[in-house]
Chain A
Amino acid sequence: MRSTKQAFFIFNQKGEVLISRLFRQDLKRSISDVFRIQVISNPDVRSPIITLGSTSFFHVRINNVYVVGVTKCNASAALVFEFLYRFITISRSYFSKLDEESVKNNFVLIYELLDEIIDFGFPQNSEIDTLKMYITTESIKSEMAVREDSSKITIQATGATSWRRSDVKYRKNEAFVDVIETVNLLMSKEGAVLRADVDGQILMRAYLSGTPECKFGLNDKLVLQKRGNEGTKSDDAVELDDCQFHQCVRLGKFDSDRSISFIPPDGEFELMRYRSTSNINLPFRLQTHVTEPSKSRVEYTIHLKANFDSKLNANNVILRIPTPLNTTGVQAKVGIGKAKYVPGENVIVWKIPRLQGAQECTLTAEADLAATTHRQAWSRPPIQVDFSVVMFTASGLLVRFLKVFEKSGYQSVKWVRYLSKANGSYQIRF
């Protein structure tokens, strides 16, 4: 496994090179033409990695550009993709959206960034906060009024806590914790739960002075049991299948006693990700009754129930209910929200801006179908429910404490928010 990547390209949809950066001499620039011919103009590429001859192309498609890594060796595929995605994240934080236009407008900046985050094919520093200290644009310059002394920057970029400066000062010390859970659900026609799990994310915005040492506690079953008070608390304890941490968290310590301790970066970062599969509280229940009384009609009755405390609210609930491909029109009636047939996607979109806990509502609809010679039965893709519910965690996870220790001994204020959401991952077959 020699170097990881030997070249980096960004292409637009026509296959024109927007950015090209070669790290090793054994690749020629013309290699980009090969990619254009083989991937961009080839409609049935079925793999994110293509090896042509001895050159491998790793590509990620985002908006209207392809971000591509090229190597001629047995590189780590996971690393290349991780890097490409990291590049996308970094670009976003610099110019909000990565697309053809923004790449063209910011190409100097992109070259500058590439120079810093990858050297000779080895990824270097990819911490956004650190990068922003010395790679600046007009907008970022104004944000950070004073340009740092460059020796400080370099210390930070390589330091043991490369993610944090030592001289951060705030008048008011605050930390915000956001627990965001993405609910994955796959429910069968019969209403059996085939798969229900939660991908959780704990985001933190730390505005803390000095070098604070933080300790973070969840109602994680293993931790609670270890403390020996399972009798009282294990009922509402959550079993986490797996957690992954930001690099600031001391993994060795977590491994030995499951405690989460770290020195946070300044500002916003993702502290941890976790996964939980047991005792998932599904925020929405769906009862579907879909019939095809004749060849030219489908009748839907969809009953939606908000399955959480009535004090809470769900926002932006959107149901996407598939219709057959030969649908000509849909009449839909809903008790709450709005339902509309979107012919381009072959779905009825039912939008409910706000839904209270324990509330129920129903959609009835009829889809008219055009006559067709197509014999194949309609495959009935699953109904998809998107939502976000504030102050609710589907896994039942709670933050038990966040302790901040700093040598000056200041008091800090902490805030916790919870959010459960789904974006294409909550699917119900019918």
Chain B
Amino acid sequence: MSKKDTKEPSRRDFIFLATGAFAAAGAASVAWPIVDQMNPDATALALSKIEVDISQIERGQSITVKWRGKPVFIRRRTDEEIQMASRVDVNSLPDGNARNYNLTADSSATDENRALDDNKEWLVMVGVCTHLGCVPKGQSLGDAKGDYGGWYCPCHGSHYDTAGRIRKGPAAKNLDIPVAEFVNDNVIRIG
């Protein structure tokens, strides 16, 4: 071996390496389409914007709509719920980030940064537990709402408060707030 190492590389060595590199590049270029075909396709991406009519929702009521195959919770909160959410000291929260895609990534998890409108009446969030993806309970009247009066995930016991922030349990993050805006007083666009 050591004898061979000291030799000048021959033309054969060069051809060997060049052929190998060419074959590797060729294999990689064919492998990528096979890997990429599994990514979300055009139909999945096309469904990424929806408009929701909210004119029928009274205070204290919620609806669940489907967006990108996931449930989105839209809740028109009561004054009591808003007060409960506003009273909380942000520094005491397990996740201090707003997780709001309408704001900058480092926004803090205040109630203002969670609600959609200035009156803080409307809360729009992805209804997927940030632990392992179950849909938390709390949308229907008879549901368990957890220790903080918001939502409760029955799978592994995560409790969310009235602003959808994680307070107790294995989940590490607040419920995500998707990109959303009011088109007019009666319609919200999500995505």
Mutual binders A and B: no
Chain B: residues with CB nearer than 8 A to chain A? none
